[in-house]
Structure 1
Amino acid sequence: LEAFAIATGAVVRHQELGRDGISSLIDQVESEEVVWDVVLIPTEAVLPIAQQTHLSAIDYNVVDDADLYPELLMQHGVGARLYSTVMVYAAQLETAPRGWEDFWNLDLFGGTRSLRRWPVGTLEFALLADGVASADLYPLDTARAFASLDRIRDATQFYEDGKSPVEFVRTGQAGLASAWSVRTALPDVVSLVKPQWNGGMIAADSWVIPRGAPNTDVAMSFVNFATRAVPTANYTRLQNFGPVNQNALTLLRSDIVAGLPNAPENLSRQFFQNWAYWAENLESLTAQFEDWLFNPLASPTAEG
């Protein structure tokens, strides 16, 4: 933000979004009292909000997309930072788990499992564990996914706080867990907990511009600036998110790149979350997931 202000002379004010940020964005647009020019939101929220006509279209004549990952280019949003949900395990393990098949193998790797209480990612990992190739995941075979989860239900604790899974593995409360990759690089866990990139799910946060923003032109220029190689590399040096500009990787030390979800050798072993699929199915599959979690005798069928 400071670099953009210096480069352009624009006056930039920053506000933390908070838990009610998306609701506030929608309220501002619907009341025609928009005070935010650019907002950083989870990418899975972009399409649903855009479908309500609450976002301005991205002007790709202003935002240079040549070096950005194509998966992060949307009509109403542009990727801002990358992260992955990966399997994590204790660094002290003599043999590292190779993928989600090993996560599901309670005989080979003992101990409690920990998965996010959320269908996004959890269902994909269940299918990977059951032998589905990452290229064939979508549309999800939900009946098969829940049947796969049935196999480890009794050995699994489901978390809601993003800090929990790494802490569970670090302290031995869980043998294996799914977790955000950025948390494996924190100073107090980096030597104790390791990520397994095989079968990881790449996700992102994105820049969006509310419809009716008071400074749309400046906002579009900011999105372009914020997705250039140098600013994205600088941000990665501060936080272990992957830069959305592919040229940024060449500006970073090799040891930093090695821990990023879009390091070439890590990227090739993962898949991108299908945001369009989840925009259409999140509500219904969240209800199915919660029903499965609290009603062990009734796994969802293919019909839902």
Structure 2
Amino acid sequence: MSIIKKSLLQGSVAAVLALGASASVLADSVTFSGWGGALQDAERKAYLEPAAKALGVTIKEDNMDGLAAVRAQVMSGKPKWDVVELGSTECAQAQQEGLVEPLDYSVIDATHVDKTVVSSHWIASHAYATVVAWAEDSGAPVAKNWQQFFDPQVKGARALYRQPWLTMEAALLGDGVAPKDLYPLDVERAIKVLARIKPQVVNWWSAGADSAQLLRSREVDFLAIWNGRVSEVKASGEPVDYSFDGALLSHDCLVVPKGAPNKALAMKLIAQIMKPESQAMLATLIPYSPVNAKAYELPIITEQLAARLPTSPQNIDKVVAVSPQWWVKNQEAVRQRFALFLAN
């Protein structure tokens, strides 16, 4: 996952999946490196085990902590990984730096994937959204959209993500910027919007687990949070709710590092991951959303499940897509400006 999901890391593992493969075929292998944790556990069941069986190969697993690890492997001249999952901004950065192979779209079917998340060198694997969530039993006023969130007259205690990406977009939407006019981001305007509610922000969270705990403990009345995290809190019986109206849609994506040892198999593995059946299965295991629209035609995604997924037909027109292309060009300067804002 992206920079914003490093909290999912749970150390490095190396597992071998050899389902349905004969001993003579097991010489063929491909290595997938992801974010670890609950996400990779779900991906193993939805993506990797079925792919190992379909392709008749061994799929090895590893974990990594983002683009720096990919860069180090490629620069060494001996990359170990064949398919890596990164955040979309990191994927765009990797392409810009020449760290990844072009994808073979004669093998990978991207027909039913939104073209904004299909690049010559990377493709989105799943989506998630940053939403406004609130405690239904709060005695204080709560926000149920970005406009209310950034209104200082709404006095409830709130929390925001301690990174400029997503937080800047949320602030501008809260200040009335239309989604179609969001990029290029007006950074100074966003800082002014954030400044006016800064005294009411009781926590700037960094880890997804922390955001969920803030809601469970009622340390905040409302907050910006990833949809998967608030879904877990709500499913546990807590009286909380959230809305996809204006939610910020982000993606993780797949790349093949430059010089990957098993490039041809890597393309076949990505093709398996992008199949609607694989995409739909992941959504049943963890609240990450398919990017292959055909997944929603499968009965495994019920109407109730689709309601909790940001790319479903009932939600896709409500969300606002984050631009990795803008962030890859501007992230360093904006990160410095945001850090200065937090420090003052």
Q: Which residue of 2 aligns with 1:207?
A: 254
Q: Which of 277, 296, 306 is equivalent to 1:249?
A: 296
In the TM superposition, what is the alpha-carbon distance from 1:186 to its structure 2 partner? 1.4
> Percent of aligned pairs with the same residue?
28
Report the Cα distance in structure 1 between the residues aligned to 2:219 and 2:230, rounded to whole angstroms: 16
How does 1:95-134 map onto structure 2 within 5 Å? 97-107=143-153, 109-134=154-179
Q: Which moved more, 1:125-134 or 1:84-93?
A: 84-93
Matched, 1:168 2:214: yes
Q: Which residue of 1 aligns with 2:90?
A: 45
| 2:334 is the alignment partner of 1:285 | yes
Question: 5+ unaligned residues in a row in structure 2: which ranges?
Answer: 1-47
Match of 2:200 in 1: 155
Q: Verify the 8 A CA contact 2:132 2:146 in the aligned structure 1.
A: yes
Distance 1:93 1:136 in 2: 34
Q: Tell me how far apart the structure 1 counterparts of residues 138 and 118 of structure 2 sit (CA, whole Å).
A: 39
Q: Deviations over 1:267-287 (max 9, x none)?
A: 111111111000011111000
Assess if the C-alpha contact under 8 Å between 2:175 and 2:193 holds in 1.
yes
- What residue number does 2:307 align with? 258
Distance, in Å, in 2 between the alignment partners of 1:76 and 1:172 is 43
Deviations 1:181-234 (A, max 9, x none): 111221675542222211111001101000100110110011111001001111
Aligned positions of 1:1-304 closer than 5 A:
1-17=48-64, 19=65, 21-92=66-137, 97-107=143-153, 109-156=154-201, 157-186=203-232, 190-192=236-238, 193-251=240-298, 252-295=301-344
- Contact 2:129–2:227 (Cα < 8 Å) also in 1: yes
The residue type paired with residue 203 of structure 1 is S
Amino acid at match of 2:177: V
Give the letter aligned to residue 207 of structure 1. L
In structure 2, give the amino acid aligned to 1:23.
A
Query: Which structure is higher in RCO with an 8 Å CA cutoff and minimum separation 6?
Result: 1
Q: Does the CA contact (< 8 Å) of 1:124 and 1:137 recur in 2?
A: yes
Check whether the contact 1:62–1:220 (CA below 8 A) recurs between aligned residues. Answer: yes
Give the conservation status (yes or no) of the 8 Å contact 1:5–1:12: yes
C-alpha displacement of 1:61: 1.5
* Higher mean C-alpha displacement, 92-101 vs 82-91: 92-101
Q: Is the 8 A contact 1:203 1:272 kept in 2?
A: yes
Aligned to 2:41: none
Q: TM-score, normalised by structure 1?
A: 0.91
- SS of residue in 2 equivalent to 1:110: coil
User: Root-mean-square deviation (CA), in Å?
Assistant: 1.7
Q: SS at the partner of 2:253?
A: strand
Q: Distance in 1 between matches of 2:236 and 2:104?
A: 40
Deviations 1:17-37 (A, max 9, x none): 2x3x43222111111111111
Alpha-carbon distance in structure 1 between the residues aligned to 2:187 and 2:90: 21
State the distance in 1 between where 2:127 and 2:169 align: 18
Query: CA 1:150–1:187 in structure 2 vs 1: closer, same or farther (change >3 Å)?
Result: closer
1:62 is paired with a residue whose SS is: coil
Is this contact kept in 2: 1:71–1:272, CA < 8 A?
no
Is the CA contact (8 Å cut-off) linking 1:229 and 1:247 kept in structure 2?
Answer: yes
* Per-residue CA distance 1:239-264 (angstroms, 9 max, x = gap): 11001111111221111111001122
SS at match of 1:266: coil
The amino acid that maps onto 1:15 is D
Aligned 8 A contact 1:170 1:189 in 2? no
The one-letter code matched in structure 1 to 2:208 is: G
Distance 1:271 1:183 in 2: 19
Task: Judge conservation of contact 1:43–1:275 (CA < 8 Å) in 2.
Answer: yes
